[in-house]
Every structure is written in structure tokens, then in C-alpha cells.
Amino acid sequence: MTIENKMTGDFRSKPKTMEMAEKIITFTKGLGPSRQEIKGQMTFAGKRKFLWMWTYGGTGDGTLYLTVCLDREVKDPHFHYVKQTSPTRWNHHVVVKSLDQIESPWFKDLVKAGYDFANK
């Protein structure tokens, strides 16, 4: 049997990953109005997209990948990496492996900063 390693924003087949995604969705929706879309990734947008979540078919249950776009680089050891994509945009990549990460102040600050940037 071959496991497909395709990127997906549909977490229903992975209960731990889904639980983490639901916590992030609830927090993000609590920040204010935004548009949610699911294609290859689950995304959230204000005036522009600011948050992307996904997993891979071959990745074990309990690992969620997340990118938040900001108008500046934030240096934090919790980030997997940060990449500048244009003169005024930086993608901050996080590998989420626990609910504790999602509840932490640094994580909530990152998502809130992304939401604020997307709605400028």
C-alpha cells in the first residue's frame, strides 16, 4: 500500500491534527471577521491571506504545518523558519505538534499579528 504524501487542508482523517486545527480556527475566528477557504491548504484572509494550515498524507497524526504572513520579520526560536517573500512580507513557518503550542502566548501573538496585518 502506498501512502500519498500530498499536501491537504482536510484534517478529518487525523483526529489529533483536526483537534489542533479546530483550536486554531476557533482562536482565529475570535479575532474578528475573516474568510476561510479549504483547497490544498486551509487558509484565512482579511483584505489579504494571512494564515495557511496543512498536513501531508504521509505525515503522522498530530503534526500540523502553519504559515503566518507578517509585514516584518519576527525572530523567535519557536519558528521552523522565516522567509522574506517581498520587500514588505515575511512568511513565518511553524510546525505544530501539541495543543500547548497553540495555547502559548507566542503562538497567539503570531496569529493576531498576521490577522492585524491582513486587515490594514
What mean pLDDT do residues 94-120 have? 98
List the CATH code of the domain at 7-118: 3.90.1150
55-64 pLDDT tens trace: 999 999 999 9
What mean pLDDT do residues 66-87 have? 97
Segment among 10-14, 20-24, 43-47, 50-54 with least mean pLDDT: 10-14
Half-sphere exposure of 36 (CA within 13 A, CB side): 15
What mean pLDDT do residues 51-72 have? 96
Model pTM greater than 0.85? yes
**Which residues fall within 8 angstroms of residue 116, CB to CB, at 6 or more apart?**
none
Task: Say if CB 63 and CB 96 are below 8 A apart.
Answer: yes
